[in-house]
Amino acid sequence: MPGDSLSKATQRIVPKRQKGRKLKGWETIPTHPEHSMVYLITYDLNKIGQNYDGLYKAIKNLGSSWWHYLDSIWLVEISNSSADQISDILIKEIDKNDYILVVRVLEDYGGWLKKEAWDWIKDADFN
C-alpha cells in the first residue's frame, strides 16, 4: 500500500551530507533556486493491478515541464529540489515492493527516439 514503510531490504541508501565538504565517494552539489534542473525518474512497479495514478500525478506536479516517452522513465524540469527530496515525495506513492530511482541529468545524452522526444530534450534546461 502506498506510504507503507520500506523494509530493510528495500531502503534507500542516502549519503550523509555536510555543507561544503566532500564525503568519501560523495560530493555535495549546491542547488540554485533560480535555475531548474532535469531529473530522470525511473521505477519498477511490481504489484499487478495496483493503481499508480497517484505516482504519475505526483511526477507531473514536480516541475514546470515533463517528458514521458519510455514506459518507466520520466524526465522532469524541477527547481528548488534535490534528488533526495524528489524521491521522498514519490516514495509515498509506491508500494514497499516497488523501486524508484531519481538522478540529476547533465547535458550528455544519446539514443534512438521519436522527433518529439528529442525536441523536448533539446529544449530542456540542463543547468
**The predicted structure's pLDDT at residue 83:** 94
Residue ranges of domains in the chain, CATH in brackets? 8-123 (3.30.70.240)
**43: Cβ–Cβ under 8 A, 6 or more apart, which residues?**
55, 72, 94, 98, 99, 100, 101
End-to-end CA distance of the chain: 36
What is the per-residue pLDDT across 72-93, written as a single tens digit (0 to 9) for each? 999 999 988 899 999 999 999 9
What is the per-residue pLDDT across 36-82, written as a single tens digit (0 to 9) for each? 889 999 999 887 778 899 999 999 999 889 999 998 999 999 988 89
Prediction pTM value: 0.70
Number of H helices, E strands in the chain: 3, 4
Exposed (0-12), middle (13-18) or buried (19+): which is 99, by Cβ within 10 Å? Answer: middle
Range of weakest confidence among 5-14, 85-94, 116-125:
5-14
